[in-house]
Chains A and B, each alone.
Chain A
């Protein structure tokens, strides 16, 4: 595992899973399956040729649901992590570059958000009625809105690690000669932050972004599990487990597969983040 290829193995696992999820339409066409097609005569079907892993409590094909759920969980994870990274990077750059009162305020804010019990707050955010915010009912009640909503909510919950890391890196970079030279040549604050400091802080940003993908997927799965995230009939690994507590006695397999997939994805994101930090950052000793 100490070889370069071994270090990037978790990335390979993630790419493989993403590729499988992207192949969902091919599988559906080849088997002639509709992932959302309810067939009450086929409830809790055993694995067979037509349904390789059997069917769920509404007679839907489990493989198709898992692949579709993977598309949703992975894309929500990626997009929300990118959003969290963007927010965290901006806050970290501002705090580290300007220092003083702004730094103190932004870091107190970050610390406070870290200390809060986030899940209860996310539940409130997920339950907010969008029509009361002036969003037209036609949009607020459409199926896709649960996707955008969960991306925003989980993104808002995950920027803190990035912000702290970027601030630390910015504090160190601000005193370096090339940054001082840029300031001396009259470069504006924005230019110094985004052209000179940001590219040099990319290492910790990439590491934090990778770690937050796993974090976001965990948040997405629990909110969807509680019925507040991705709304059925759109499948996500979290909402596939919503009824698992009742079916656990009769069809335990339904409770196993989605959970195993969440675990594999999150564990590989965390592993990849750890390995990237070790190989990109000469200061950390690694294993």
Chain B
């Protein structure tokens, strides 16, 4: 188990390191130039000052050298300052990461309950009208653009019914829990409805396949109760492939969170990434993107461990098996 976890963690770190280089390079290609922006905002700076600043910050060096300098500082915990907020980037990331995790985990929980529940029910009653209904609804869920779903929910609950706020999660400690929860309902609904359809389809397919296997017939002929067959023999085995695909979907879940946060002005990582890129806030964009990657990789890692725990056939000492 330990060896498996360590291998996976190292692989994750390598992906993160590669990502940081790619993103560092891409951020350098964004419109605008940090020194030009400095000169533009301060009329006392001349072009010659600009050259000196460039040399001072090492911006005249080749990209690999600049990246290594950035990486050295980053490893020591120095991620630079945000241009738009004039504060260290790390200070800004903390609260946003917490907000995003609240949104992601709540939405994932809701989507899993709805999706796995609906998928399980559909698999146990194949070709009934409820199965058909669940099938159509999950199809609509995977085919609807998330931002448009958010628009529809805003239209229904904020404009027509006027019962829920359309945006503006309050920031600061003085707002009550109830008010925060009220602001969370529509973002969580959007994100979980967008993901639940896919989960339903995976669950239904996996459960139907599992229930057709020989060991289920064996369990039946042994006289095991229907409850025990479905939960103990069926569900536990069907969950193995389902967890794999759900883990692969974590990246998509974060993409959905970015849209949801932007639509509802929810102060999380996704909105921070979008705003930072729009505002030429290079340091903040870089760090938020890396934290986004780290979040999805951590989700994958957790799913891998869950997968190993569910399937005793997987020999963890042998590294990655069964994929």
Give A contacts to B, CB under 8 Å: 108, 111-112, 114-121, 123-125, 127-129, 132-133, 214, 218, 221-222, 225-226, 238, 241, 244-245, 248-249, 252, 255, 259, 262-263, 266-267, 270-271, 287
Pairwise interchain contact B296-A116, C-beta atoms closer than 8 A: yes
> Which one of B27, B248, B250 lies within 8 Å of A124 (CB-CB)?
B27
Cα(A128)–Cα(B22), bound, Å: 13
Cα(A221)–Cα(B150), bound, Å: 14
Cβ contacts B68-110/A at 8 Å (1 or 0 each): 0000000000000000000000000000000000000000000
Pairwise interchain contact A270-B152, C-beta atoms closer than 8 A: no
Looking at chain B's contact residues, is the secondary structure mostly helix, strand, loop, or mixed? helix
Cα(A52)–Cα(B95), bound, Å: 49
A sample of 9 inter-chain contacts (CB < 8 A) reads A117-B292, A120-B292, A123-B277, A127-B30, A133-B29, A245-B263, A259-B144, A267-B140, A270-B143
Contacts of A119 in B (CB 8 A): 254-255, 258-259
Contacts of A238 in B (CB 8 A): 145
> Which one of B19, B155, B254, B258 lies within 8 Å of A248 (CB-CB)?
B155
B191: interface (CB < 8 Å) = no
Knowing A128-B30, A218-B145, A263-B145, the reply to whether A115 touches B152 (Cβ < 8 A) is no
B26: interface (CB < 8 Å) = yes
Pairwise interchain contact B251-A115, C-beta atoms closer than 8 A: yes
> Which one of A123, A133, A248 lies within 8 Å of B151 (CB-CB)?
A248
Pairwise interchain contact A245-B29, C-beta atoms closer than 8 A: no
B31: interface (CB < 8 Å) = yes
**In angstroms, how far is the closest chain A Cβ from the Cβ of B97?**
13
A-B pair count, CB < 8 Å, reads 124
Pairwise interchain contact B296-A115, C-beta atoms closer than 8 A: yes
- A132 nearest in chain B by CB position: B29
Pairwise interchain contact A117-B26, C-beta atoms closer than 8 A: no
B106-133 with Cβ < 8 A to chain A: 127
- B139 nearest in chain A by CB position: A267
B159: interface (CB < 8 Å) = yes
Pairwise interchain contact B145-A115, C-beta atoms closer than 8 A: no
**In angstroms, how far is the closest chain A Cβ from the Cβ of B279?**
11
> Which one of A115, A117, A266 lies within 8 Å of B248 (CB-CB)?
A115
Most-contacted residue by chain B among A111, A117, A128, A249 (CB, 10 A): A117
**In angstroms, how far is the closest chain A Cβ from the Cβ of B148?**
4
Cα(A111)–Cα(B301), bound, Å: 13
Cα(A20)–Cα(B317), bound, Å: 59
Pairwise interchain contact B248-A114, C-beta atoms closer than 8 A: yes
Looking at chain A's contact residues, is the secondary structure mostly helix, strand, loop, or mixed? helix
B206: interface (CB < 8 Å) = no
B263-288 with Cβ < 8 A to chain A: 263, 270, 273-274, 277-278, 285, 288
Contacts of A132 in B (CB 8 A): 28-29
B195: interface (CB < 8 Å) = no
B285-323 with Cβ < 8 A to chain A: 285, 288-289, 292-293, 295-297, 300
Pairwise interchain contact A252-B155, C-beta atoms closer than 8 A: yes
Cα(A125)–Cα(B285), bound, Å: 13
B154: interface (CB < 8 Å) = yes
Contacts of B192 in A (CB 8 A): none
Pairwise interchain contact A115-B258, C-beta atoms closer than 8 A: no
Contacts of B139 in A (CB 8 A): 267, 270-271
Pairwise interchain contact A259-B148, C-beta atoms closer than 8 A: yes
Pairwise interchain contact A245-B293, C-beta atoms closer than 8 A: no
> Which one of A124, A244, A270 lies within 8 Å of B23 (CB-CB)?
A124
Pairwise interchain contact B31-A127, C-beta atoms closer than 8 A: yes
Cα(A117)–Cα(B262), bound, Å: 15
Cα(A257)–Cα(B255), bound, Å: 24
**In angstroms, how far is the closest chain B Cβ from the Cβ of A139?**
16
Knowing A118-B251, A222-B259, A270-B139, the reply to whether A259 touches B23 (Cβ < 8 A) is no
Contacts of B251 in A (CB 8 A): 114-118
Cα(A238)–Cα(B259), bound, Å: 13
Pairwise interchain contact B29-A221, C-beta atoms closer than 8 A: no
**In angstroms, how far is the closest chain B Cβ from the Cβ of A192?**
26
Cα(A226)–Cα(B258), bound, Å: 11
B9: interface (CB < 8 Å) = no
- A131 nearest in chain B by CB position: B31
Knowing A124-B26, A127-B30, the reply to whether A222 touches B274 (Cβ < 8 A) is no
**In angstroms, how far is the closest chain B Cβ from the Cβ of A116?**
5
Contacts of A108 in B (CB 8 A): 11
Cα(A226)–Cα(B278), bound, Å: 10
- A260 nearest in chain B by CB position: B148
Knowing A222-B146, A270-B142, the reply to whether A117 touches B151 (Cβ < 8 A) is no
Contacts of A125 in B (CB 8 A): 26
Contacts of B127 in A (CB 8 A): 287
Contacts of A287 in B (CB 8 A): 127
Pairwise interchain contact B147-A241, C-beta atoms closer than 8 A: yes
Pairwise interchain contact A241-B250, C-beta atoms closer than 8 A: no
Contacts of B274 in A (CB 8 A): 120, 123, 226
Knowing A120-B258, A270-B139, the reply to whether A248 touches B154 (Cβ < 8 A) is yes
Pairwise interchain contact A124-B285, C-beta atoms closer than 8 A: yes
Cα(A128)–Cα(B262), bound, Å: 20
- B269 nearest in chain A by CB position: A120
- B303 nearest in chain A by CB position: A115
Pairwise interchain contact A259-B145, C-beta atoms closer than 8 A: yes
B15: interface (CB < 8 Å) = yes
Task: With A115-B250, A249-B159 given, name 19 new contacts (CB 8 A).
Answer: A115-B15, A115-B300, A117-B258, A118-B252, A120-B255, A120-B270, A120-B274, A123-B277, A124-B26, A127-B30, A127-B277, A128-B26, A128-B30, A218-B145, A255-B155, A267-B139, A270-B139, A270-B142, A270-B143
